[in-house]
Structure 1
């Protein structure tokens, strides 16, 4: 009775169960040739080969396992406690063509032995590796290492993590960042910090569906607790002359130096800056203009505005006294005015410190009987990549320094938080004046370093 039943099963076509087909499509298993259910478990014969064992009683279909993936089954029948799977097979039979009109059964070995031109190739249908289940949202992880922007997490393939997954890290400073996993191993995973983001070893993390928080133009790193650094602009003066008009090989240096400190968690920054100070050499004249100040500023991720006090220093600006009748210079009589003295400073930043921003600082010089413009300088920064930015800056002062430059900034270490080192390089032009002779002017190639411990 069993054999006729099986033969009838082969001959009579039966459409596969629609629920099994939908489940296979959802799981990416391909078309289903036949399916049968037994005690809450569904068995599906796959067109790509093998038998899929499925659980369909939940909200989402679940692939339990796959059997015989290299074989193609076209019919499944449950008989008692057994699953009978009928396999589609391709077999070769030989027929003698001694009489072409009447082919006769022949030995397959005899037929294959008579020729050397026949090549038989058998190829198993391609197998598909079982899909790894997506990582469970909310799975707990820990940051085990942080180096040069790479974050190692205590979970990998065994925890269901995969490339492209995202994890939410709650930092020890109570900030949250969402990182994207870029590499997974068996028991660890690697994620990458975005510009301005920072985490520490021991920070907890959970798998999340939230988008990554990395931003190029407007990162939210928070204001660093301590920054200090310098930017040096050495230059060679072109067509320099001495006081007597003789040619001279001259040059100089225009130097910025600063320190900025944020006390505690207050949105305040206390800073002291040489912005800048110049030194000219080679003409026998003094060229030492500069400005310095201390300031207090209200500072957030995207805004800094403050006020301070400082001083401009340099040489006197002198010119010949004019005859009131002829308006010609009177020989031996000069009128000198000093552009040095105390100043009131203003500072402003619009945008992120490590992202796109426009910065401006200026001072008002206090003279004996009047206020006048003292100095001003501005900067625009545009991020190009997660670690590289383009910037342009320039400024000048009544005390005799002027400059303009275009350059790049790059993170040598870190991504903007504690432990970051920023390197700057630029090309530009510098001019220093002593107030009496010709200004020293020439091209500069500058470098700068900023540290955030």
Structure 2
């Protein structure tokens, strides 16, 4: 009560200042003192704390509130320091045995004489109802909504969540992220999730001075629980011909499809993938090369390495065997000899870097056939983030069974930021080649599109 009375007197005597008008506009209540330094205004609030204000545009803007809950009655800039004089409540006792001559007395004696402390004053009543007490900046708030990367918090400017402030959010999966406030109202605030960050409704948050955890190249989202999707590369074959050498209008499709699942909390990922499979049409010949595998991988934020088993499939390549007559030594037509680059394979999987950030990925297959091992297929990818929601990637590969491709494209978060509920869309330009082992390969430019979901 004593501090409220003293604050009322100070506010009543202080002339209206730009800082006071700015605080009134922002709903911060009365200002006890203010000072300006290098274009930044510091205002001591009657309800507690020092408001940091900017007036770059037509309307003032609250940057943050420091030392919420503590009252400062005087602010002075000294060099590169802000001296803040805090108001404190201290009680002193005086004996009124002789009313005309009050004498110092012990505080214990005075308080022991009565159970109720009454302060008598003739100060005029405040013209407005006293503002609600500000919640200290260390007060906890909760996440009330998450939509398209925007996080709505249950506290606003009154809890120290001014624009530009940062909050530490403790997620339900025991991870911590620090978010920056991009919009602040009196009782709500909105923060923006960074690449790979994920929070849920009900998560708790507290104001912090720690830097934001959003990372562009090396985000730490954790390994998604479930991912599945596809990437389709339709193409038109150039200068295509039939088996007899006639021209043909032909084309085809090279398709990736995958599903990856992380069971429990172990750093393991089980995946199955068509990597890829091709379909060629228009020449009367079969063009169906492809590969598929199942793998088990050790997977973390910045590394994935695993092994698996799969198969390469496609058509046989047949040609007549050159032979000679044993008597005349003239060439004669021999039997057809067919060879196939299809069969079981052993798979290797590797990723260096963050799944949603910068990374280099590679997988290859070793083909088992003809009592020997030989190289079966290989493909690689490099991804470079450009913005919090957009990445550039390049990929390519080929196989002994007859598929080859190269592409350059972009990948973007259509929904979410990398955690559960995320949808990723990708688009690319490139070239595709399919072969069935006989005749000429089908080759041409492709315009590709892909979608990945993380429920």
Q: Same fold (TM over 0.5)?
A: yes
Matching residue within 417, 427, 451 for 1:415:
417
3-state SS of the aligned residue for 1:196? coil
Instruction: Structure 1: give runs of 5+ residues left out of the alignment.
Output: 1-23, 31-52, 65-132
Give 1:163 shift.
1.0
Give the match for residue 119 of structure 1: none
2:73 counterpart residue number: 54
> Matched residue of 1:197: which SS?
coil
Q: Which residue of 1 aligns with 2:144?
A: 144
Cα 1:411–1:344 change in 2 (3 A) is: same
Asked if the contact 1:134/1:161 (under 8 Å) is kept, the reply is no
Residue of structure 2 in register with 1:303 after alignment: 303
Q: Secondary structure at the match of 1:28?
A: strand
Q: Any conservation in 2 of the 1:143–1:151 contact (CA below 8 Å)?
A: yes
**Distance in 1 separating the partners of 2:310 and 2:147:** 40
- Between the aligned partners of 1:333 and 1:354, the Cα distance in structure 2 is 54
Residue 256 to residue 327, structure 1, CA distance change in 2 (3 Å): farther
Question: Contact conserved, 2:324 with 2:331, CA < 8 A, in 1?
Answer: no
Shift of 1:259: 0.2
Shift of 1:321: 2.4
Are the counterparts in 1 of residues 134 and 159 from structure 2 also a CA contact under 8 Å? no
Give unpaired runs (5+ residues) of structure 2. 1-30, 38-71, 77-81, 89-132
Secondary structure (helix, strand or coil) at the match of 2:191 reads strand
Following superposition, the deviation at residue 159 of structure 1 comes to 1.4
Give the CA RMSD over aligned residues. Answer: 2.8
Report the alpha carbon displacement of residue 137 of structure 1 after superposing the two structures with TM: 4.6
Q: Give distance in 2, aligned partners of 1:205 and 1:235.
A: 50
Larger Rg computed on CA atoms: 1
Distance 2:411 2:271 in 1: 21
- Secondary structure class of the residue paired with 2:172: coil
| Distance apart, 1:54 and its partner CA | 2.8
Aligned to 1:379: 381
Tell me: CA distance 1:141–1:238, structure 2 relative to 1, closer, same or farther (3 Å): same
Q: Which residue of 2 aligns with 1:183?
A: 183
Name segments (4+ residues, structure 1) moved above 6 Å.
56-59, 324-329
CA deviation map 1:112-161 (0-9, x unaligned): xxxxxxxxxxxxxxxxxxxxx99955221100000000000111112122
Secondary structure at 1:301 match in 2: coil
1:318 aligns with 2:318: yes
Q: Alpha-carbon deviation of 1:196?
A: 0.3
State the alpha-carbon separation in 1 of the partners of residues 375 and 134 from structure 2.
64
Equivalent position of 1:216 in the other structure: 216
Match of 1:348 among 347, 350, 371: 350
Report the CA distance between 1:369 and its aligned residue: 1.3
The corresponding residue for 1:339 is 341
Which of 25, 28, 52 aligns to 2:35? It is: 28
1:130 aligned residue: none
Secondary structure, in 3 states, of the residue corresponding to 1:158? helix
User: Does residue 436 of structure 1 match 2:443?
Assistant: no
